[in-house]
């Protein structure tokens, strides 16, 4: 059972509401050292005073991931991440690229994924050697 609060966001210029269910990832804000996440080489959790996930010039063959089970096929989910990366880094779900981060400015990128499997493997996958940090990765059902 996942516990959390719903959230309403505005979708586009028309003001149509986007209502979201609770957070489905464990430790989506990186508040607890590596809870829920599988960290590849070069990835570390930030200090408790500044929760984040950091990657410093590690091997591009390493990634960080978390799998979510019990999803509803045909349901839409909002997959998003907030961070920055000095070279290309892909936010992936079940192998598909949802968004690519590149540059030193912290940005939030989101993707609406229509569930085609009861599980989702969320991966931050560096494509080049650089440094970067993420303050949140999120998966929430669109209600």
**CA-based radius of gyration for the chain:** 15
Q: What is the pLDDT of residues 66-120, one digit of tens each?
A: 999 999 999 999 999 999 888 788 999 999 999 998 888 889 999 999 999 999 9
As given in the structure block, the two tokens for residue 100 are 């690519």
Global confidence as pTM: 0.82
| pLDDT above 70: residue 3 | no
Are residues 79 and 29 in contact, defined by beta-carbon separation less than 8 angstroms? Answer: no
pLDDT at site 119: 96
| pLDDT above 60: residue 4 | no
Residue listed under structure tokens 């996440």: 37
| pLDDT above 60: residue 8 | no
């Amino acid at each position: 059972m996942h516990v959390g609060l719903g959230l309403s966001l505005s979708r586009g210029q028309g003001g149509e509401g986007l209502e979201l269910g609770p957070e489905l990832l464990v430790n989506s804000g990186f508040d607890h050292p590596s809870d829920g996440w599988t960290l590849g080489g070069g990835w570390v959790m930030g200090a408790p005073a500044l929760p984040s996930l950091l990657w410093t010039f590690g091997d591009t063959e390493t990634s960080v991931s978390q799998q979510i089970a019990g999803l509803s096929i045909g349901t839409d989910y909002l997959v998003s991440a907030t961070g920055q990366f000095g070279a290309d880094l892909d936010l992936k779900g079940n192998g598909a690229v949802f968004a690519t981060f590149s540059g030193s400015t912290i940005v939030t990128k989101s993707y609406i994924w229509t569930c085609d499997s009861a599980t989702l493997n969320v991966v931050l996958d560096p494509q080049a050697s650089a440094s970067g940090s993420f303050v949140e990765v999120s998966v929430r059902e669109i209600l």
